[in-house]
Chains A and B, each alone.
Chain A
Amino acid sequence: MSALSVSNLSVTFQGRDKGFTAVRDVSFDVGAGETFGLIGPSGCGKTTVLRAIAGLNTNWQGSIAVSGEPLQPGRKITGALRASIQMVFQDPYSSLHPRHRISRILGEPLSLRGERDVEDQVRTALERVGLPAAVAGRYPHQLSGGQRQRVAIARALLLKPKLLLLDEPTSALDVSVQAGILNLLNDLKSSEGMTFVLVSHDPGVVAHMCDRAVIMDAGRIARAMDRAQIAASWSDAAAVAG
């Protein structure tokens, strides 16, 4: 059974008089434990695919199943499935509440689910993403970009997701900070047994992280690549540019 199965996914945004189809007939399968890349230029629809899987946009056609459980178009994701699918966004600053302390940002999803030992869990989560416990008392603006992204990853991890959706998780960060975050993601993937879907426009990040990938263009899948093809096409690209 695939960790994620997407078939014939289409997403149309309604304009005043005509619709715009951002994703057309996209199908792919991601195996458990894989890191799957969605790549392509701005506007190709890669983030739209991710948002449909995350349940942030429920207005889609086709079918999406996570660990065999189908999502319903037009409906919010609920129950156990809601915790299984988590997302990390590009800009950690705009994805963390600016007026809430880190302890509240991390604790809220747990409290909402009626969990008890919230404080302990928050402390453990911070430790797992390599942040000192003192971070819990700070506000997002008191942290560096890399620290904020670690908080966002900790927030996603707290719900013990099976599928982590990563939307350009390091493109706002310095190269040396990026290296730390990519290491962290790979460590957590193996220790927590997660599956990743990674959206990126950086060929280096894709080539470092992904086992398989699809290149999207104008809402469709233009090309599917296995590991060997990723390695070959990206080292070619570097050679041409160099």
Chain B
Amino acid sequence: MTDPLLQVEDLSISFPSANGPVRIVDGVSFSVGREVVALVGESGSGKSMTGRAIMGLLPSRAQVAAARLSFDGQDLTAFPEKAWNSLRGSGMGLILQDPKYSLNPAHRIGRQVEEALLLHTKLSAAERRERALDMLDKVGLPDVDRIYSSYPAALSGGMGQRVMIAAMLINRPKLLIADEPTSALDRGLQDQILTLLRSLSGELGMGLLLISHDLQQVSRYADRVMVMRRGKIDEQMVSADLANAKSDYTRALWAARPSAATYGTRLPVYGEQP
């Protein structure tokens, strides 16, 4: 196997506070190739901060240290701001939870989907439009000509998230980081969007880092799963091995999910005596 796309070694992130720096992420190491990897954790586990550090999007007061942070052969630890801009526009993409806040309500969909092409390529307006329509079609949107000239308010949450995915993928990034890409959507739509992300990552040969709080759900779409807790990676494994996880926390997180099989029983709660 060739070098993985993304390599993270001993990444730590601290934020200053009145009582000295607080370590949010504590010595995290992992790599992502052209595959689907899930980074799972509960509120405050540091999963989103890890995703942001990879994209250079942490607030300036965050203190980041890493033995290695490299993407596609480039060292990200010493990256100047300008280089980040071009990397974010073409090498890596980020999808956030709620399309309502990620899309500009005052601009038409077409313009927002094309923006990366406008900034990072020399394509003509007609070529950009063609690529955008093609991409809107690829993410499963109907009637792409109408959507191209609509405003975000005219779209449902699921359609908005598809537009975001189209905008992120139009420049064919090598790595897509999706931070809770479906938490704002209905359950049925969640599965559709995750299926779409997974199939696009295969089709485009793109690495996909899925950040989520829902272990059972993302494990169905990821090749590998990393479970984070209190700033550290608790366990990482191939998704198929999850039911036999070694760490107590991973096992508890796996078993705590309610289902038809748990009807009439008490759900296990981590740290609670059975």
Residues of A within 8 A of B (CB): 41-42, 145, 174-180, 182-183, 186, 201-205, 207-209, 227, 230-231, 234-235, 238, 241-242
- Interchain residue pairs with CB less than 8 A apart (13): A175-B253, A176-B252, A178-B256, A179-B258, A180-B269, A186-B266, A204-B259, A209-B263, A231-B260, A231-B263, A235-B260, A241-B191, A241-B220
- A179, A203, A230, A235: the one within 8 Å of B256 (CB): A179
Which single residue of chain A is at the shortest CB-CB distance from B40?
A175
Report Cα–Cα, A235/B263, bound state, in Å.
Answer: 12
Q: Which residues of A contact B259 (CB under 8 A)?
A: 204, 207-208, 234-235, 238
Q: Which residues of A contact B187 (CB under 8 A)?
A: 201-203
Report Cα–Cα, A204/B262, bound state, in Å.
Answer: 9
- B157, B253, B260, B266: the one within 8 Å of A234 (CB): B260
- A177, A204, A227: the one within 8 Å of B257 (CB): A204
Q: Which residues of B contact A208 (CB under 8 A)?
A: 258-260, 262-263, 267
Q: Which residues of A contact B213 (CB under 8 A)?
A: 174-175
- B43, B220, B268: the one within 8 Å of A179 (CB): B268
- A183, A186, A205, A234: the one within 8 Å of B269 (CB): A183
Which single residue of chain A is at the shortest CB-CB distance from B157?
A42
Which single residue of chain A is at the shortest CB-CB distance from B221?
A241
Are A176 and B258 in touch, CB under 8 angstroms?
no
Which single residue of chain B is at the shortest CB-CB distance from A175?
B256
Q: Which of A180, A186, A227, A242 has the most CB of B within 10 A?
A: A180
Q: Which residues of A contact B260 (CB under 8 A)?
A: 207-208, 230-231, 234-235
**Interface: B188 (CB within 8 A):** yes
Report Cα–Cα, A187/B262, bound state, in Å.
Answer: 15
Are A176 and B269 in touch, CB under 8 angstroms?
yes
Q: Inter-chain contact count A-B, CB under 8 Å?
A: 73
Q: Which of A179, A235, A241 has the most CB of B within 10 A?
A: A179
Are B258 and A182 in touch, CB under 8 angstroms?
yes
Closest beta carbon of chain B to A207's beta carbon, Å: 4
Are A176 and B42 in touch, CB under 8 angstroms?
yes
Q: Which residues of B, 172-192, contact A by the 8 Å Cβ criterion?
A: 186-188, 191
Q: Is the interface of A mostly helix, strand, loop or mixed?
A: helix
**Interface: B261 (CB within 8 A):** yes
Report Cα–Cα, A148/B220, bound state, in Å.
Answer: 31
With contacts A208-B263, A238-B259 known, is A180 near B272, CB below 8 A? Answer: yes
Closest 9 CB pairs of A and B: A208-B258, A179-B267, A207-B260, A179-B256, A174-B42, A231-B260, A204-B258, A180-B269, A234-B260
With contacts A41-B186, A241-B191 known, is A178 near B258, CB below 8 A? Answer: yes
Q: Which residues of B, 203-218, contact A by the 8 Å Cβ criterion?
A: 213-216
**Interface: B270 (CB within 8 A):** yes
Report Cα–Cα, A205/B267, bound state, in Å.
Answer: 11
Are A242 and B220 in touch, CB under 8 angstroms?
yes
Which single residue of chain A is at the shortest CB-CB distance from B214?
A175
Q: Which residues of A contact B42 (CB under 8 A)?
A: 174-177
Closest beta carbon of chain B to A158's beta carbon, Å: 24
Q: Which residues of B contact A209 (CB under 8 A)?
A: 258, 263
Report Cα–Cα, A183/B268, bound state, in Å.
Answer: 9
Closest beta carbon of chain B to A212's beta carbon, Å: 12
Are B258 and A205 in touch, CB under 8 angstroms?
yes
Closest beta carbon of chain B to A12's beta carbon, Å: 23
Which single residue of chain B is at the shortest CB-CB distance from A42?
B186
Report Cα–Cα, A174/B257, bound state, in Å.
Answer: 10
Are A207 and B263 in touch, CB under 8 angstroms?
yes
Which single residue of chain A is at the shortest CB-CB distance from B270?
A176
Closest beta carbon of chain A to B78's beta carbon, Å: 36
Kindly supply a per-residue 1/0 record for chain B positions 240-274, scoring 1 wherever the CB is within 8 Å of any chain A CB and 0 otherwise: 00000000000011001111111100111110100
Q: Which of B43, B215, B220, B256 has the most CB of A within 10 A?
A: B256
Which single residue of chain A is at the shortest CB-CB distance from B261?
A235
8 extra interface residue pairs, beta carbon distance < 8 Å, beyond A174-B213, A176-B270, A179-B258:
A175-B213, A175-B253, A176-B253, A183-B266, A203-B187, A205-B258, A208-B262, A209-B258
Report Cα–Cα, A203/B270, bound state, in Å.
Answer: 22
Q: Which of B216, B253, B257, B258 has the most CB of A within 10 A?
A: B258
Which single residue of chain A is at the shortest CB-CB distance from B252?
A176
Report Cα–Cα, A180/B268, bound state, in Å.
Answer: 8
Closest beta carbon of chain A to B140's beta carbon, Å: 17
Q: Which residues of A contact B191 (CB under 8 A)?
A: 241
